[in-house]
Amino acid sequence: MASRALAVWHSRRVVGLLVRRDLKVKYQGSLLGYAWSMLEPLAMAGVYFFVFGLVFDTNRGVPGGGDAPGGYLLFLISGLLPWLWFAQSLNQAPNAIISHSKLITTMRMPREIFPVQAAAAKFADYLFTWPVLLAFVFALGGRTSAQGILVWLPLAITVQLVFSLGMTLLLATVNVLVRDVERMVRILNRVLFYASAIIIPSGLVLESDRFPTWFTTLFQFNPLLGLFKMHHAVWYPADAPGALVLSTSIGGAILVLVVGYATFRRLEASVLKEL
């Protein structure tokens, strides 16, 4: 296993090239390429702000109170941008191997690089959203803390990288053999969006007495909940995850990576035959 990791490390230049190729192909041909890719999160943020921020005039449960720096709009943006990273990884994951079948069946290289490349490309896309996030932070007067920048931000990014890599390995492999994966992914995407407190601050569920205990416990076992709480906590210290949520998040990400890589290795020979 160590030798395989080493082989991927030796191929890092190839991974970099494939990532750059994807970005080039994506942003090429339209001057507005970058603007287009930012339009989706901005439109989503606009819609949710319109519905929940303006139409329903209720307690939106922004962590740290309604007048926390940045307000509900920054809460939306700071959740939606990393969510988009996650959602696009999830959407593309089933195709990470199939879409390179030509290369995989004709060139000798560690097959791991294709899921790694897919995950890395989505991470690069996420990094490109930072200028927009920062623009909103400055415009809305958002504030961060030392803990937010030094603990929550790197931890959130690491956990999400681990999670999305494991998820890509798992789904890309299984999708070669079983064709239901793409459909499942679409449903999962929708459910996880509302289950992971992207636009609804988790406090509205966790601190409410409308939900039975088993439900709130289950809610906290979603590893993505902690992940997005961390992303929010960079700007809203009050949203920092507690011990249970944090450990399910970190443990869940590691578990997904282990299961994903084990599946990949176990099914590799069959996958090569099917491509």
Number of residues forming the site for other proteins (CB under 8 A): 27
Report, in Å, the least distance between residue 94 CB and other proteins. Answer: 11
Report, in Å, the least distance between residue 99 CB and other proteins. Answer: 11
Question: Does residue 133 belong to the site contacting other proteins (CB under 8 A)?
Answer: no
The amino acid at residue 249 is S
Question: Does residue 272 belong to the site contacting other proteins (CB under 8 A)?
Answer: yes
Q: Which is nearer to other proteins, 190 or 266 (CB)?
A: 266
149, 51 Cβ separation under 8 angstroms? no
| 196 closest CA partner among 118, 109, 83, 38 | 83
| 225 closest CA partner among 156, 171, 164 | 156
Tell me the window of 84-92, 105-113, 129-137, 142-150 that interacts with other proteins (CB under 8 A): 105-113
| 72 closest CA partner among 241, 232, 245, 240 | 232
By CB under 8 A, name the one of 7, 8, 23, 109 that touches other proteins: 109
- Ranges within 161-180 binding other proteins (CB under 8 A): 176-180
Report, in Å, the least distance between residue 252 CB and other proteins. Answer: 23
- Ranges within 178-207 binding other proteins (CB under 8 A): 178-180
Burial of 67 (0-12, 13-18, 19+ CB in 10 A): exposed
Q: Which is nearer to other proteins, 55 or 107 (CB)?
A: 107
113, 117, 121 from 20: Cα distances, Å: 14, 10, 8
29, 119, 242 from 159: Cα distances, Å: 34, 13, 16
H-run or E-run covering 112: none
Q: Which residues contact 195 (CB under 8 A, 6 or more apart)?
A: 219, 222, 224, 225
Tell me the window of 160-168, 214-222, 254-262, 265-273 that interacts with other proteins (CB under 8 A): 265-273
Q: Which is nearer to other proteins, 2 or 107 (CB)?
A: 107
Q: Which is nearer to other proteins, 18 or 171 (CB)?
A: 18
By CB under 8 A, name the one of 2, 107, 146, 243 that touches other proteins: 107
Q: What angle do CA 240, 242, 248 make, to 5 degrees?
A: 110
| 159 closest CA partner among 224, 225, 274, 253 | 253
Report, in Å, the least distance between residue 177 CB and other proteins. Answer: 6
- Ranges within 9-48 binding other proteins (CB under 8 A): 13-14, 17-18, 21, 24-25, 28-29
What phi and psi values does residue 54 have, to the nearest 5 degrees? -115, -50
Report, in Å, the least distance between residue 141 CB and other proteins. Answer: 42
The amino acid at residue 125 is D
By CB under 8 A, name the one of 105, 147, 208, 247 that touches other proteins: 105
Chain residues binding other proteins by CB under 8 A are: 13-14, 17-18, 21, 24-25, 28-29, 102-109, 176-180, 268-269, 272-274
